[in-house]
A and B are shown apart, each in its own frame.
Chain A
Amino acid sequence: MTIRSILAIATVAMIASCQKKSNDTIDPSKVMVSISNPIGNQSFHNGDTLQVNAHVSYTSELHGYEVKVVDTSTGTILFDYEEHVHMDVFDVDKRWPVAVSAATNAVVTIVVSIDHNGETATKEVGVRLDP
């Protein structure tokens, strides 16, 4: 092997380093979030487990999701969880032991992160929480 061949290999290696990137355009409307649990207006009592199940899919890479349970009257966050993902299809499976001091109308929200610039898609379902 000569110096010339080493340089040739190195040059090919550098050229091969050109990084291609997916041409997919960001489109939050194409994010599909299907929440199977809870169902709309489902009621829970203290001691119950509010189970959140959802199937998420998109045409390109997703970067993470957040699951929140929020008191709709006060805006108080009762439960909050976020996770990074690097997939186009994934399932959400989170549980929250219900604990409220008064009857509460709440919303379960799943926020999906599409990129690192704040693009998200959101799906919500309302629930009733009782002591």
Chain B
Amino acid sequence: MKKVTPLLCAVMLAAYSGKACDVCGCASSGQYFGLLPQASRSFAGVQYQYYKFTTAHPSLFENKREEQSTNFYSTAQAWGRYTLGKRLQLFGFVPYRYNLQESDTITYREHGIGDVTLMADVVFLNSGEAITHQLLAGGGVKLPTGQYTGVSENDRLGLPNMQPGTGSWDAILNANYTMRQGRKGLNVDASYTLTTPNRDHVKYGNKFAAGVVAFRSLHADDVTIIPQIGARYEFALHDYDNYSRKWLNEQSGGYMAFGTVALQANYRRAGLRMIYNLPVSQKYSSGYVYARQKIETSLFILIN
């Protein structure tokens, strides 16, 4: 039982993607490492993320109504952690994305392999007795491995960042702090993504994300249940339609704040986590993009 001591390390990665249509850039879907058992052990698993938006595409011309759409972003991905000693942890994400947009006039789908993210975190702090502290920090890179076909006809028509890949190399910095006292605890995580222009000179806005959750561990035999409650904040700068010419897309970017509830269950070497994020405040893409909900489910198995 005690071997399955849950350590909350909600290390946030930020494999964001975004296309430079006027009102979008809206797939600012970050990724959590979430609540991982045995922070010193390696694991492998799968995740499923679901993100829903509603979008208004205003007409550029007079006497035309704006087009409404609903966007569904789904990601299934392999993820894992490999620990190198007590100080270094390597993380990887290999996503497959399925994006669907239903508008007044058309239904549009994009799917394929997404951008792989690789991270390396250093354990800076892992100490304490009655109250324990753990601090991870590091960084990584999002590789342009995903399917990206350039600025498509659909992008010109105002469809959002539907392609599985962004075509850009992005750098990620992250930090994660967990404090525990007995069965209670608090986790704070933050990340910052520095984007670069892709081959079409499109540069998606840099992203900042931070979250805090309070948790409590409930034990029964080999099972540990960890309910969590907290909040999350995401902020994205404007995209550039053409970075070399400094064509700033001022209708992109913005912030979203979510209330978060989550539940994690650990059974021996296996873990299951479910997170539900509900937006409580937001202004994204000048208000034309509205996040509805964000759901994540993860499974993982400890390897060593």
Residues of chain A whose beta carbon lies under 8 Å from any beta carbon of chain B: 1-3, 6, 9-10, 13-14, 16-17, 19-22, 60-61, 63-64, 66, 82-86, 88, 111, 113, 116, 118, 120
What is the total of A-B residue contacts with beta carbons within 8 Å? 79
Q: Is the pair B192, A10 in contact by a Cβ cutoff of 8 Å? A: yes
Q: How close is A99's CB to chain B, nearest CB, in angstroms?
A: 21
Q: Is B245 an interface residue (CB 8 A)?
A: yes
Q: Are A86 and B242 in contact (CB under 8 A)?
A: yes
Query: Can you name 9 A-B residue pairings with CB atoms under 8 Å?
Result: A2-B124, A17-B206, A19-B238, A19-B248, A22-B245, A66-B60, A84-B21, A111-B61, A116-B60
Given the known A-B contacts A63-B22, A86-B20, are A3 and B194 also in contact in the complex, defined by CB atoms under 8 Å? no
Considering the chains assembled together, what is the distance between the CA atoms of A114 and B30 in angstroms?
Answer: 33
Give the interface of B toward A (CB within 8 A).
Answer: 20-22, 58-62, 64, 122, 124, 135, 137-139, 151, 155-158, 173, 175, 192, 194, 206, 237-238, 241-242, 245-251
CB-defined contacts of A84 to chain B, threshold 8 Å: 21-22, 60, 155-158
Shortest 8 CB-CB contacts between residues of A and residues of B: A113-B60, A86-B241, A22-B246, A61-B247, A64-B60, A21-B248, A84-B156, A17-B206
User: Nearest Cβ distance between residue B116 and chain A, in whole angstroms?
Assistant: 21
Known: A22-B245, A61-B242, A86-B241. A1 touches B122 (CB 8 A): yes
Least distance between A39 CB and chain B CB atoms (Å): 25
Whether A116 touches B238, Cβ cut-off 8 Å, given contacts A22-B246, A82-B64, A84-B156, is: no
A13-B192 in contact given A82-B59, A86-B151, A120-B61 (Cβ < 8 Å): yes
Chain B residues lying within 8 Å of A14, measured Cβ to Cβ, are: 192
Given known A-B contacts A1-B122, A19-B237, A82 and B173 have beta carbons under 8 A apart: no
> CA–CA, A14 to B245, complex, Å?
21
A111 partner residues in chain B, CB cutoff 8 A: 61
Asked whether A83 and B246 contact (CB < 8 A) given A10-B173, A19-B237, the answer is no
A1 to chain B: which residues have CB within 8 Å? 122, 138
Alpha-carbon gap, A17 to B21, bound state (A): 20
A121 to B: closest C-beta gap in Å: 12
| Other 6 A-B pairs with CB < 8 A, given A3-B124, A6-B137, A82-B59 | A6-B175, A9-B139, A17-B237, A61-B245, A84-B21, A111-B61
List A contacts of B194 (CB < 8 A): 13, 16-17
C-alpha spacing A13/B238, complex, angstroms: 15
Asked whether, in the complex, the Cβ of A113 is within 8 Å of the Cβ of B192, the reply is no
Q: Residues of B contacting A113 with CB < 8 Å? A: 60-61
Cα distance A14–B64 when bound, in Å? 40
* CB closest chain-B residue, reference A1: B122
Chain B positions within 8 Å of A13 at CB level? 173, 192, 194, 206
- Cα-based distance from A16 to B158 in the complex (angstroms): 29
Do A6 and B156 form a contact, CB below 8 Å, given A61-B247, A116-B251, A120-B61?
no
Please measure, in the bound complex, the distance between the C-alpha atom of A16 and the C-alpha atom of B173, giving whole angstroms. 14
